[in-house]
């Protein structure tokens, strides 16, 4: 009786192992598999060949329990997003995962991580975070370790990047700053800062930051913010004054364009003075403009 061959292996250098795993993950994605759900170990044999060992995911719950939890939103103790991501499911006619299904039902699994959202993909390569953006409109809750850079690296959602969608809703990952919104453009040449100016969701910034980038038609975020202030933005005929108030609180230099004698600006000024977010520090900055100071007294 033949003995089974004994594979004598050794560990690879960390840099080489990391490079092999990165390539391996790309191949697994193309096959519709979920590489982040597998623990892999890369070893080198005596003959110089590379040997890869996989540890498949293990769950204490069966498929029926996991699907029921995804639809109902009642997740048993110990059930994780990785349990949901390991099982295929049909979502709007596309073969994705049970995690996609849970998000399409407006359910956010407990302890969901950045890796679960970014690397869980269906056969159509649709990341789970895109499903989250599509169905959680206006009430996104990000994992603590998710950053604006992660939203930039995801392929465009529909016709614009995910970071642009976050700017439209004013829901940014933690630690996002205005400079992060300048890192990616859509087909019109708009950055996420352009979208933030249009929808009144600017992050704290200066006039110089708003004027530092131009779209394909030559407009800067500053130009768009002024158009919103005057109610002349071609992108939206309905301009609630709350948009302008939020923009001025983020960039007080916009207040220099307020004229209390103009009715629309006078209404904006009243909302600005009554805003609970108007801090003493912002009040001091606004007092640099004589017309504003006179109207506030």
Q: Is the pLDDT confidence value at 167 over 90? A: yes
Instruction: Give the integer Cα–Cα distance in Å for 141 and 99.
Output: 15
Query: What pLDDT sits at residue 87?
Result: 85
- The answer to pTM > 0.85 is no
Q: Is 84 helix (H, G, I), strand (E, B) or coil?
A: helix
249 C-beta neighbours (distance < 10 Å), count: 20
On average, the pLDDT of the chain sits at 83
pLDDT greater at residue 230 or residue 40: 230
Is residue 180 very low, low, confident or very high in pLDDT (cuts 50, 70, 90)?
very high
* CA quadruple 155, 157, 160, 161: dihedral, nearest 10: -50
The per-residue pLDDT for range 19-64, each reduced to its tens digit, is: 887 787 777 766 666 666 666 677 777 777 777 776 666 678 888 8
Q: Are 246 and 201 in contact (CB under 8 A)?
A: yes
Instruction: Give the integer Cα–Cα distance in Å for 84 and 122.
Output: 12
Q: Is the pLDDT confidence value at 4 over 70? A: no
């Amino acid at each position: 009786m033949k003995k089974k061959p004994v594979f004598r292996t050794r560990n690879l250098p960390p840099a080489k192992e990391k490079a092999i795993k990165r390539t391996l993950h790309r191949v697994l994605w193309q096959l519709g598999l979920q590489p982040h759900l597998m623990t892999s170990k890369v070893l080198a044999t005596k003959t110089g060949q590379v040997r890869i060992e996989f540890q498949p995911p293990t769950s204490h719950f069966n498929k029926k329990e996991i699907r029921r939890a995804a639809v109902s939103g009642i997740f048993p103790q110990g059930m994780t997003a990785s349990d949901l991501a390991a099982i295929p499911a049909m979502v709007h006619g596309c073969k994705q995962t049970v995690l996609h299904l849970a998000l399409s039902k407006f359910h956010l699994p407990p302890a969901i991580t950045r890796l679960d959202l970014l690397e869980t993909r269906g056969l159509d390569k649709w990341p789970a975070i895109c499903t989250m953006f599509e169905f959680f409109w206006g009430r996104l809750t990000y994992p603590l370790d998710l950053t604006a850079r992660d939203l930039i690296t995801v392929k465009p959602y529909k016709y614009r990047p995910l970071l642009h969608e976050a700017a439209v809703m004013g829901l940014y990952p933690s630690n996002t700053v205005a400079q992060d919104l300048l890192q990616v453009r859509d087909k019109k040449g708009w950055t996420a800062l352009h979208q933030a100016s249009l929808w009144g969701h600017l992050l704290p910034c200066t006039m110089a930051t708003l004027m530092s980038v131009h779209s394909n038609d030559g407009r800067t975020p500053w130009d768009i913010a002024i158009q919103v202030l005057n109610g002349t933005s071609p992108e939206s005929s309905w301009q609630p004054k709350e948009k302008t108030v939020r923009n001025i609180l983020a960039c007080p230099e916009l207040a220099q364009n307020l004229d209390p004698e103009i009715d629309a600006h006078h209404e904006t000024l009243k909302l600005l003075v009554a805003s609970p977010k108007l801090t003493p520090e912002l009040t001091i900055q606004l007092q640099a403009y004589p017309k504003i100071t006179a109207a506030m007294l």
